[in-house]
């Protein structure tokens, strides 16, 4: 059973076809890297999967449940929308932490809001919140920021902010965690700490889709690599094959830029 199956996703902005029919599926524990030149549609694909954009055509299944069908858009209740949304986590290139909340509050905010709709919330409020906090503290230490729990985003380096963003996404237990160039906004000396955290997650069999320009990292960490070119998947396969033995001219040219 695939944890995620994407079928024939198409997306256009105005007159430009950005995604021209993307299909792939991933298994639980897979780490997929998506590479490709600027403008090839990587971000757009992640945004469609995370419902930040609505694809014009295509289907998305999570654990074989059809959760999105462009041909048959049905009105979802807020609860259904949230369920659908929470199958995925997304880590942005620009972190997007909430500036008025400290690290712990950033990680727990969504859960605290959600907890309010639990039937026994008013009865067990203390326990529920303590539970949420405890889990968040564990996640924050997992990304190596135990000493920053009460810091505000502006007091953190970019690398630290991105690690908070990762903890924040993990806190909701997504089935699939997506990253859009998680290190592109960082100084080179800070990319290492973020990539290390992602490597650890891969070792713990967290299912991930990572859009990245870090070829070495993609080669090490992923179980499969997808090369996107002008809105289609031009090549995909295990990293060993894709990187050492590219079959398309486009991929060869693309990889040459990085050598």
Partner 1 sequence: MSFISITLSLLSGFCSTVYIFLLTLVMALPLGLIISFGSISGFKPLRWLVRMIVWAIRGTPLMLQLIIVFYAPGLLFGLPMQSRILAVLIAFVINYAAYFSEIYRGGIESVNKGQYEAGQVLGMTKTQVFFKVVLLQIVKRILPAMSNEVITLVKDTSLARVILVPELIHSANVYVSKGLIWPLFYSGVFYLVFCGILTLLFGCAEKKLSYFRI
Ligand X SMILES: Nc1ncnc2c1ncn2[C@@H]1O[C@H](COP(=O)(O)OP(=O)(O)OP(=O)(O)O)[C@@H](O)[C@H]1O
List residues near partner 1 by CB under 8 A: 50-52, 78, 82, 85-86, 88-90, 92, 94, 96-101, 109-110, 113-114, 152-154, 168-169, 172
What is the distance between the alpha carbons of residues 177 and 169, in angstroms, rounded to a whole number? 8
By beta-carbon distance, which residue lies closest to Mg ion? 43
Q: Does residue 40 touch Mg ion according to CB under 5 A?
A: no
x/- mask, ligand X, residues 44-63, rule CB under 6 A, reads: x-------------------
For 84, counting Cβ atoms within 10 Å of its Cβ (0-12 exposed, 13-18 middle, 19+ buried), the class is middle
Stretch (H or E) spanning 17: strand 16-27
Q: Which is nearer to ligand X, 155 or 184 (CB)?
A: 184
DSSP reduced 3-state for 48 = helix
| Partner whose binding site includes residue 88, from Mg ion, ligand X, partner 1, none (CB under 5 to 8 Å by kind) | partner 1
For the bound state, the minimum distance from the C-beta of residue 97 to partner 1, rounded and expressed in Å, comes to: 8
What is the distance between the alpha carbons of residues 156 and 59, in angstroms, rounded to a whole number? 39
> 242: which 2 tokens?
């894709």
For the bound state, the minimum distance from the C-beta of residue 209 to partner 1, rounded and expressed in Å, comes to: 13
Block residue for tokens 């945004």? 47
Q: Does residue 212 touch ligand X according to CB under 6 A?
A: no
- Interacting residue with ligand X among 33, 40, 160, 222 (CB under 6 A): 40
Stretch (H or E) spanning 237: strand 232-237
Beta bridge partners of 61: 5, 66
> 84: which 2 tokens?
């659908």
Which residues from 146-185 bind ligand X, rule CB under 6 A?
A: none
| Residues that bind Mg ion in the complex, under the rule CB under 5 A | 43
| Residues that bind ligand X in the complex, under the rule CB under 6 A | 13, 18, 36, 38-44
């Amino acid at each position: 059973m695939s944890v995620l199956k994407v079928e024939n996703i198409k997306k256009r902005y105005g007159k430009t076809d950005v995604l021209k029919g993307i299909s792939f599926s991933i298994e639980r524990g897979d780490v997929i890297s998506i590479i490709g030149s600027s403008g090839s549609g990587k971000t757009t694909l992640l945004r469609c999967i995370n419902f930040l954009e609505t694809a014009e055509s295509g289907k998305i299944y999570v654990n074989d449940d059809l959760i999105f069908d462009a041909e048959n858009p049905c009105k979802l209740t807020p609860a259904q929308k949230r369920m659908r949304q929470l199958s995925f986590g997304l880590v942005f290139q620009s972190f997007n932490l909430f500036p008025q909340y400290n690290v712990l509050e950033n990680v727990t905010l969504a859960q605290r809001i959600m907890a309010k709709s639990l039937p026994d919330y008013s009865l067990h409020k203390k326990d529920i919140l303590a539970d949420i906090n405890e889990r968040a503290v564990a996640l924050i230490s997992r990304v190596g920021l135990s000493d920053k729990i009460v810091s505000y985003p502006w007091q953190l380096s970019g690398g630290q902010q991105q690690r908070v963003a990762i903890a924040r996404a993990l806190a909701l237990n997504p089935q699939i965690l997506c990253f859009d160039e998680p290190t592109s906004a960082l100084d080179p000396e800070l990319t290492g700490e973020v990539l290390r955290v992602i490597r650890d997650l891969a070792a713990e069999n967290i299912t991930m889709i990572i859009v990245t320009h870090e070829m070495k990292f993609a080669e090490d960490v992923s179980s499969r690599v997808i090369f996107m070119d002008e809105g289609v998947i031009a090549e995909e396969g295990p990293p060993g094959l894709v990187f050492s033995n590219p079959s398309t001219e486009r991929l060869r040219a693309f990889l040459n830029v990085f050598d």
